[in-house]
Structure 1
Amino acid sequence: MPEPEVDLPEVAAVARDLIRFDTTNFGGGDARGEREAAEYVGAYLESLGLAPEYYEPIPRRTNVMARVPGRDRDKPALVLHGHLDVVPAIADDWSVDPFGGVVRDGMLWGRGAVDMKNMNAMILTSVADLLRAGEQPERDLVLAFFADEENGGVEGSALVVKDRPEWFAGATEAISEVGGYSVTIGDRRAYLLQVGEKALLWIRLVARGRAAHGSSLHRDNAVTKLAEAVLALGRAEWPVSLTATTREMTERLAELTGLDPADPDAVALASGPAAGFLRSSLRTTTNPTGLTAGYKHNVIPDRAEALIDVRVLPGTEEAALADIRRIVGDDVEIEMVLRDIGLEVPFAGSLVESMTAALGRHDPGAPVIPYLLGGGTDNKALAGLGIIGYGFAPLRLPADMDFTGMFHGVDERVPIEALVFGQRVLADLIRSY
């Protein structure tokens, strides 16, 4: 049973409030709740004495931004950004209401608890800590909260960057989701700092055949052609190929595990629950995610389609598409639904040093390791403005928690203590950097 409503640390209360806005993004422009969530964020920013600006290029697809003046306005601004939408949640599969903001077993449950209303709350409350104390951040902060990230940002960050570039004037770096969280390797805790993202290729496979009666002897069946292509692509064994980031990640993890860095897969597997994320960063992935065919049980359709989520290492897009073409064969067409860039930046520089130092002050002795995200974030859109993005949503997590498995999963949840830790680390960072 859910625990009764209790007093929560502010960061957890704000995350709970955001979860209670159903901001489901079904893709293709079918979304809900983003305006209401943006208005909540805007009201919170106003309560801190800030002046939020809204941009709604498409009705109800609302983005909101506020700038926090820094002590040294000659320094480049830092962007802290998040997205307000979430992927769908099938309530019958969950043990709690996915939009109830339930508190149970010391955790906050709900869609967005991990991806990424937790980080949105950490951004808001870390800034609140400073401003309520009469302090300023070291440099200007641009706080941005986008719509539509879960559909590649097509109707969110991409349009904001195109139509409102002045929001980010003077900014050179950004931090957002999917980095800064802890993993436990043996009896040692370490933190993964995201310094890159794989490129995104969302493709549609289309097989064509000849319509016929379902009882006929028929060799020109679109469903059969598609099924063969989907099976081949879904079971493809893509080889390990290291980038500068994944090579350094492997070497640092190998130091902790005692394993041979010449076997990156084995090293990644030793990272425990995070292994699925880390292994995906070592290679191309091609995952079937949707099927469409037919309209009646006794009619063989003349067309069948499949959606494939393809993620490739930065710079390997054309080679991967050529391999996919070879795997699916000439009888199946490939349509590009959405394509976006990959990112990779050095694990070095003053911001990386400051993020590492902030973690070190709150969890002394824990190493920080760079990694490449298999998915993507709105940092891709900001890169079009020359802004370098990192994943830094700091969370100190229980050793046995499958945190990465919570992304787009069932019963998504985050420890309240981890939210408090993250808010403190983030507030420390923006005070000092």
Structure 2
Amino acid sequence: MSTDTPTLTVTTDRCQDLLTQIVRIRSVVGEPTTAHLWVSERLRELGMTVEHYAVEGRTAPLVLGVLEGDGDEPGVLFDAHFDTVHARPEDWSRDPWGAQVEDGVLYGRGAVDSKGTHVSMLAALEAVVAVGASRRGPIYFMSDSDGEDGFRGAALMADLGVAQRIDTVFSAEATSNRGIEIAYPGISTWKVTAIGRTAHPTEPENGINAITKMAKLVDAVNAGRLETPRGSSDWFEPRVTLQAIRTLPGGGWTIPGRCDAVVSVMSPAGATLNEVRDSIDAFLRMLEREDGEVRFEFKVLPMGGGRLWLRPGESDPNHRGVRAIDEAISAVRGAPGEVRKFNGGWVDAVELMRTGPDGYGSPAVITFGPGDFDQAHAVDEHIAISEVRDAAEIYARTTLALLG
């Protein structure tokens, strides 16, 4: 890994121009958009070979660009998404798609999540290409159309063999240009059904009220009695949340014999889906024994893209990509970065990771970007252009250090 960084040119004006353009292209997840065409044009201007891949359930495709290196060593992948959540213009003080700039701050849907980081990555690659230095491996740029709800993009990358050609993935989420986030929990969602016995409400003694039985499960979950696998991570503790409860259709004038709950489980690296399933099964059988009347059934609710869950993953904190970006942060910001866990749920690049004997995933997935994560999905979402510029320089320095 080279320590000599050629002179880079990354300007605030260029970052503002790019961010203004892409924020003004409405790209709400699931809606028709031309954002993928804009991204493709930027990548081709960099000399990249660009391909489009259809994404199930989406009108816009995934965009994948590749810039081959001069050598055959492992390269880097920039993992971005151009889709955003919706915005209600009547709730905003500015046009959500107007990209209005005031005092160096740009307002607009997606400014933080994650068009700001997307633009930082593009500006970084412009700077890297302009330097003209030899690169020992390829640079990939993925821009996804379902980064807000489906996370199918990286699954396509796995099928295309991209993971075998890269060593480091940079995932586009806001970390205030300080956080170097390397640990990601697995997420599984389960439907649990309490089965009692229906009866006429005037004779409740003849029934077994499934809502009452489900209430016992709720109390037990809140009391921490559902113990899911702890895995091997030093970053995360297992977490269980109840997300929905409902009785099945059939009219209200009855003692309900069935009641459903949706349970979400966040699992640290090292845990498996089968271990989560076994822990839920043991918990439900315990409740059945304690109650003596109810019976519980459960099943996993698939997460889409052919996946039963979103797998956990963790990068080595001493990986060369982590060290390189930390050095770049120090050079640009004058203070080191903070290596930490990811608090935003999950990033699709984890799909590419495969766990090695040391317990860490390869390729290393590093989440980094400009902006305050609390602004993601917020009304009047905004980002400082200077942060976008600084992130671009950090990305560029890191890329040159890894591939130079």
Q: Give the TM-score normalised by the residue count of structure 1.
A: 0.71
1:356 deviates by: 1.3
Counterpart check, 1:202 vs 2:189: yes
1:383 deviates by: 1.7
Query: Match of 1:425, SS?
Result: helix
Query: Match of 2:383, SS?
Result: strand
Q: Which residue of 1 aligns with 2:156?
A: 159
Q: Within 5 A, what are the aligned runs for 1:84-233? A: 84-89=82-87, 96=94, 98-104=96-102, 106-132=104-130, 134=132, 137=135, 139-153=137-151, 155-162=152-159, 164-165=160-161, 167=162, 170-178=165-173, 181=176, 191-209=178-196, 217=204, 220-230=208-218, 232-233=220-221
Q: Which residue of 1 aligns with 2:63?
A: 64
Which letter does structure 1 place at the counterpart of 2:337?
V
Counterpart check, 1:377 vs 2:347: yes
Q: Within 5 A, what are the aligned runs for 1:15-414? A: 15-25=19-29, 31-33=30-32, 36-58=34-56, 60-70=59-69, 72-89=70-87, 96=94, 98-104=96-102, 106-132=104-130, 134=132, 137=135, 139-153=137-151, 155-162=152-159, 164-165=160-161, 167=162, 170-178=165-173, 181=176, 191-209=178-196, 217=204, 220-230=208-218, 232-233=220-221, 236=224, 246=234, 281-293=235-247, 298-299=252-253, 303-317=258-272, 318-325=274-281, 329-330=287-288, 331-337=295-301, 338-364=308-334, 366-374=335-343, 375-383=345-353, 387-395=362-370, 403-414=372-383
- Report the more deviating stretch, 421-430 or 54-63: 54-63
Query: Match of 1:340, SS?
Result: coil
**CA spacing shift, 1:367–1:49, aligned 2, 3 Å:** closer
Q: What is the alpha-carbon distance in structure 2 between the residues aligned to residue 223 and residue 423 of structure 1?
A: 53
Which letter does structure 2 place at the counterpart of 1:381?
E
**CA spacing shift, 1:212–1:145, aligned 2, 3 Å:** farther
Q: What is the alpha-carbon distance in structure 2 between the residues aligned to residue 90 and residue 214 of structure 1?
A: 44
**CA spacing shift, 1:406–1:383, aligned 2, 3 Å:** same
Maintained 8 Å contact 1:292/1:305: yes
Q: What is the alpha-carbon distance in structure 2 between the residues aligned to residue 344 and residue 207 of structure 1?
A: 35
Query: Match of 1:381, SS?
Result: helix
1:428 deviates by: 1.8
Maintained 8 Å contact 2:248/2:260: no
1:53 deviates by: 0.7
Query: Match of 1:195, SS?
Result: strand
Query: Match of 2:141, SS?
Result: strand
> How much is the aligned-residue C-alpha RMSD, in angstroms?
3.8
Q: What is the alpha-carbon distance in structure 1 between the residues aligned to residue 87 and residue 224 of structure 2?
A: 29
Q: What is the alpha-carbon distance in structure 1 between the residues aligned to residue 204 and residue 380 of structure 2?
A: 46
Give a deviation string over 1:214-273, Cα, whole Å, max 9, x none. 787475344444455345435648999998874xxxxxxxxxxxxxxxxxxxxxxxxxxx
Counterpart check, 1:422 vs 2:377: no
**CA spacing shift, 1:290–1:351, aligned 2, 3 Å:** same
Q: Which residue of 1 aligns with 2:291?
A: none
Q: What is the alpha-carbon distance in structure 2 between the residues aligned to residue 93 and residue 106 of structure 1?
A: 23
Q: What is the alpha-carbon distance in structure 2 between the residues aligned to residue 81 and residue 314 of structure 1?
A: 21
Query: Match of 1:40, SS?
Result: helix
Maintained 8 Å contact 1:179/1:391: no
**CA spacing shift, 1:407–1:67, aligned 2, 3 Å:** same
Which letter does structure 1 place at the counterpart of 2:192?
L
**CA spacing shift, 1:116–1:295, aligned 2, 3 Å:** same
Q: Give the TM-score normalised by the residue count of structure 2.
A: 0.75
Maintained 8 Å contact 1:232/1:327: no
Q: What is the alpha-carbon distance in structure 1 between the residues aligned to residue 77 and residue 318 of structure 2?
A: 18
- Report the more deviating stretch, 36-45 or 314-323: 314-323
Maintained 8 Å contact 1:148/1:157: no
Q: Which residue of 1 aligns with 2:5?
A: none
**CA spacing shift, 1:113–1:292, aligned 2, 3 Å:** farther
Query: Match of 1:115, SS?
Result: helix
Structure 2 residue ranges without an equivalent (≥5): 1-10, 289-294, 302-307, 356-360
Maintained 8 Å contact 2:232/2:271: no
Query: Match of 1:200, SS?
Result: strand
1:42 deviates by: 0.6
1:125 deviates by: 1.6
1:382 deviates by: 1.5
1:43 deviates by: 1.6
- Report the more deviating stretch, 94-103 or 55-64: 94-103
